[in-house]
Structure 1
Amino acid sequence: MAPLCQIWRPDRGRCFKNLRDHLRFVYRPGLTESPPPGEESYTFGCPSGGLCQRLPADCMLCNFQHNCTYAKATSFTCRPRKGVHCVGESGQQQTNFSLSISCRFCWQLDPSQYRCFNSTSCMTVSCPRRRYNATCDVLDHVHCLGRRSFQKRLYCNWTGGYKWSTSLALSITLGGFGADRFYLGQWREGLGKLFSFGGLGIWTLIDVLLIGVGYVGPADGSLYI
């Protein structure tokens, strides 16, 4: 008795016993469909035929040793990942190559060489200035030792689009009517200044000084731009 087919292809008149056979049949190299089971997804983001030394870090495997001298250029032996093809300076395909990098862990890199999640929930205008735990990822073309994703404690540095020059100008010219506080989103203080005529001028003068030195900032806790 013929086996019962679970998936049938009406366009070709054939069927498959299980989903794995179906996926193997559908997949074709170079198309946009999902790769078959067991095929690594990273190969689809790796260049093919380029120089091995210029491969992104996720496209190669290196025998990084942690006993090198900090910040000193050190050579390590690397190889492209399975399914990734690269060539050397001579144009011939290589399975092993030498990569020279600065000896430092990923969390020791310059801030321009990694990207961190910028928190918009912590107060930037506070004393002392607050910090937050950020998850950082190294850029693809940067090579380093250790984990490429790490945690860092950073200062709150996001902005809501408020300008320091605008708030200071409003404080000097229309501060007696609370325009500076209204602009910064501090409605209660703005109403207080409005109905007290800027605290008879005293509150207005104090706000000019506080905004001028950056002590009073946007109500959402962001930085000036």
Structure 2
Amino acid sequence: MSSYLMLFLLLLDIYCRSVIAYLSSPHVAQEPVYSVQQSPVMSRPLALNSSSAAPALTDRYLSRCPSGGQCSRLPADCIICSFHHNCSYGRPANFTCRAKAGVHCVGDPSRPQQNFSLTLDCRFCWQLDPSQYICSDSSSCSTVSCPRRRYNTSCEALEHVHCLGKRVFQKRLFCNWTGGYKWSTALALSVTLGGFGADRFYLGQWREGLGKLFSLGGLGVWTLIDVLLIAVGFVGPADGSLYI
């Protein structure tokens, strides 16, 4: 029995060796091995137009700068000056200036000029007269108060006004806005229909108007007092604005 088992194992070993040798022989075609390669991601081609290829440099100040005029009369946005601060406040001083790129101007003999001298008063932009700059009004502060209230706002020097320092500056001004209420209308209502609270209703003070209406103007006393207060401007619109 053992001899048959040994013979069987020997034949099995010979068979396995022959199979392995056959599979490893070069004439057996093997499957090609394919590697997964990531294809490059194709993005959408960028269309180049005139603005993206070569952005046009547009100088905003050129539209406000007259060409061919006198250099000393150009607006402040059209020139570049070398300001110095060693001048006496309020007195005229000379500064060397030149026109910006693209701005052409002439001198006194009507000849093209690049550098020129500009005479202006020695003062910073925030020291200008109120008529030489413009500020943004505030409608959130009350004009009827004692003492008068102020508000912080941004101001800018006018186009043809030359000054030292920054042209945009901060100022603290009195509340001076108006909501469209007329002093003459309020006074006329106070004299004629003040006993019914018409003046208070017109000014937006409806609580005081109801009080005058149901008390018949405080039996005339409240009406007389309101006529005097509106006449002197002590009683104003409820929104805190000025009369017009």
TM-score by length of structure 2 reads 0.78
Q: How many aligned residue pairs are there?
A: 201
* Residue 197 (structure 1) aligned with residue 216 (structure 2): yes
Deviation at 1:152, TM superposition (A): 0.5
Q: Deviations over 1:58-99 (max 9, x none)?
A: 110111111101111111110001111111121111110010
In the alignment, the residues of structure 2 paired with residue 199 and residue 17 of structure 1 have an alpha-carbon distance, to the nearest angstrom, of: 77
Give the Å deviation of 1:5: 6.5
Q: Which has the higher helix share?
A: 2
Q: Is contact 1:168–1:180 with CA below 8 Å preserved after alignment?
A: yes
2:114 aligned to 87, 95, 111, which one?
95
Alignment of 1:1-225 (within 5 A): 6-7=46-47, 16=48, 20-21=52-53, 23=54, 36-37=56-57, 39-225=58-244
Deviations 1:132-190 (A, max 9, x none): 00100000100001110000000000111111122112111111000110111111111
What residue is the counterpart of 2:25 in the other structure? none
- SS in structure 1 of the partner of residue 134 of structure 2: strand
| Matched residue SS, 2:113 | coil
What is the match of residue 11 of structure 1? none
Identity of aligned residues (%): 69
Please identify the structure whose Cα radius of gyration is greater: 2
Provide, for residues 105-124 of structure 1, a one-character-per-residue CA deviation record: whole Å limited to 9, x for no partner: 11111100000001111100
Query: What does residue 34 of structure 2 align with?
Result: none
Instruction: Give the ranges of 4+ consecutive aligned residues of structure 1 lying more than 6 Å apart after TM superposition.
Output: none
TM-score (norm 1): 0.84
SS in 2 for 1:74: strand
Runs of at least 5 residues in structure 1 that lack an aligned partner in the other structure: 8-15, 25-35
Contiguous gaps of at least 5 residues in structure 2: 1-43
Residue 49 of structure 1 and its aligned partner are, at CA, apart by 1.2
1:18 deviates by: 8.5
- Report SS of the residue matched to 1:214: coil
